[in-house]
Each structure stands twice: as C-alpha cells, then as structure tokens.
Amino acid sequence: MVLGLVLAGCASQPPAPLSPGIGPTGPTADYLIGPGDVLGIYVFRAPELTVDVPVRPDGRISIPLVEDLVAVGKTPTQLTREIEGRLAKYVQQPTATVIVKNFVGPFDQQVRVVGEATKPQAIPYRANMTALDAMIEAGGLTKYAAGNRAVLVRREGSSQNSYTVRLDDLLRDGDVKQNVALRPGDVLIIPQAWF
C-alpha cells in the first residue's frame, strides 16, 4: 500500500545529473567514517599498537591504550589527530595513521536499493554514482521485478520527492538516458511485477 502511495506522486525524471567531478556535497567533500567501516590504525615505531578495528554500531572504536573513542562522523585525519592526542599519555610523540579499509559510511551517506533487486542492500555513496552503479552493486533485477516502475525517493531540504526510474530500459535496452545521478541518502525502490 505504501508503495502505491509513493508511485502515485512520482515525477517522470529526477533533477538534472550533477556536474562531472563534483559530488552533491562539493568538490572537496571528505569521507566521513561510519558504523561498520573497518579501520587500519598504524602507529609509527609501535607495532603493538597497530591494529585493524571495526567501527561498532555505537560509532566507537577501541584500540590498545585507548578505549571507546568516537569515530563515526569524523574524517580519517580528524580521528588520527585524536588518537595521537590520546596516545601522547603513553607514547612519546606518537605518529599515527588511520586508513579506511572497508567503506560503509554513515547512514545518510548511503544509497539503499530495496525490493526486487537480486541483492537488496545499502551501498556506500561514491562521487558521481548513478543508478547503473547501484544496480551493478545490487546484482541487477530479479525475474519478478517491474524495473520500469522503479521509484527513486530523495530527500531535498525538508521535503521528500519521488521520481520514476525506468530500470528495465536502462539494464535490458541500454537506454543511458535512464542512468540518473544518485545522491547520498537516496532510496531506489523496485516493485514486483503484477501477474
């Protein structure tokens, strides 16, 4: 029933694609760490402090000598400086590096593909991401998908807008006009065909 309400208020196409090379958050947007990311933390001349750690669902990490450090919402550089500050109590002039090894990102920086995709999932947003990129990541459409009735739900300011995306035309017929630009937080809903 909810899907029917979403479909009824859809515009035919999402807004114009983004300019090449510039993401929706600007050309210099930095990656923000999110729950589920795996971080490689390297401390120069202290191999016993060098670890790979997951960011827990509560947004924190724990490393040797530093417990429950908030990582979510920070850039790797910001987290590096905070780790160095905390380690300074135990290590003389610590030099650390944080490398994101498995990208998930914060929830508001993900694109969700739901419904009749082969692998419905939340996908970390990447600059210049398109509907085709999301569908490749989600494994394409199931045999029961009504791809040409897919809906892109996008929050724009305080409102939420819905747009029709013709995924069958894109994936099966190669109609690249249907390859719309995605933005962080977009939800791509793929309904089931009616028999």
Could you please report the per-residue DSSP string of 98-127? EEEEE----GGGEEEEEESBSS-EEEE--T
Torsions phi, psi of 184, nearest 5?
Answer: -55, 135
pLDDT tens-place string over residues 142-181: 999 999 999 999 988 889 999 999 999 999 999 999 999 9
Q: Is residue 18 exposed (0-12), middle (13-18) or buried (19+ Cβ within 10 Å)?
A: middle
Q: Give me the pLDDT at residue 194, please.
A: 78
pLDDT at position 12 = 56
Q: How far is CA 3 from CA 6, 7, 21, 149, 150, in A?
A: 5, 6, 33, 11, 10
Model pLDDT, residue 126: 86
Check residue 156 and give its pLDDT.
87
Mean pLDDT of 177-193: 94
Q: What is the pLDDT of residue 86?
A: 96
Residue 189's pLDDT is: 97
The whole-number pLDDT of residue 32 equals 87
Is 113 within 8 Å of 147 (Cβ atoms)?
Answer: no
What confidence tens digit (pLDDT) does each residue in 3-56 have? 444 444 566 556 554 444 444 444 446 888 989 899 999 999 999 999 999 999
